[in-house]
Amino acid sequence: MQLQLLQTSDLDQPEVLRLKNVWKTYHGGHQAVKGISFAIRRGECLGLVGESGSGKSTLARCLLTLERMDKGEIWLNERPLHKLTSFQLRQARREMQAVFQSPSASFNSRLTIMDSLLEPIRCQNKGCPSFLDKSTNEREIASQLLEKVHLPANCLNRYPGELSGGQKQRVAIARAISVEPSLIVLDEPTASLDVSIQAKVLNLLKDLQEKLGLSYLFISHDLSAVHFMSQRLMVMQQGEIVDVCEGMELFAPNRHSYTKQLLALFDVN
């Protein structure tokens, strides 16, 4: 991949998210997440890497409150998600958005791209995002959002089935940023895309983070992508975080043996 390197964001920022001792066990006794704790700062991309089945997506679903954790604490902007009522939780989770692996599964095939794109804004009564030119016209707002992800306005009247996988993922990214969330969870956002498109999407995500001050949890099995995107990264194996480091510390000789295996596998440099 030819990736355009961008400057990292300032890490001296308040915490957006904190997980404390999160556990998740499925029926049959399989422990998918084992006592994981970490924090994400405002404007930071924290990377999470591990092979398939390591528990990455389960952890993401727990922090998005799509899965109920067995025990632990999740704090979003100093609000304890683990203690909120159902109504309070529905309000709080609006501050998080997600972009998943399969862009096709993210859209209602019967809605136009414009309606899909504006759905979060309409649900939250947000109006025009602050990073766009002020407008009350929905079509103009949607057009500007597409421009942010380098798509033409003529996509608005199309349906998801008329777009390529890369185009749909760009729309998913535009939709995620539309409500200016405190955190965006990116769960294997390029895994289903052609190699030629992956680098462009990664560069887009990096550019949006820098320009809009976004906070990401970037999850992938691909260590090279995680290293490119993240100021800090965590390595997950069999439900546990086995290694944590700043980006440039990834190549230190004292890295965990599993991290070294991933380095060799993905030829990160």
pLDDT digits (tens, 9 = 90+) for 191-204: 989 988 999 999 99
Q: 219 near 188, Cβ under 8 Å?
A: yes
Question: What are the pLDDT digits (tens) for 205-238?
Answer: 999 999 999 999 999 999 999 999 999 999 999 9
pLDDT average, residue stretch 242-267: 90
Domains of the chain and CATH, by start? 15-107+181-266 (3.40.50.300)
Total Cβ atoms within 10 A of residue 91: 12
Please tell me the pTM assigned to this model: 0.92
Find all residues with CB under 8 Å of 85, minimum gap 6, and list them: none
Total Cβ atoms within 10 A of residue 167: 21
Instruction: Label the pairing between strands 71-76 and 79-80.
Output: antiparallel
Q: Is 90 exceeded by the pLDDT of residue 83? A: yes
Question: What are the pLDDT digits (tens) for 22-74?
Answer: 999 998 889 999 999 999 999 999 999 999 999 999 999 999 999 999 999 99
φ/ψ of 144, rounded to 5, equals -65, -35
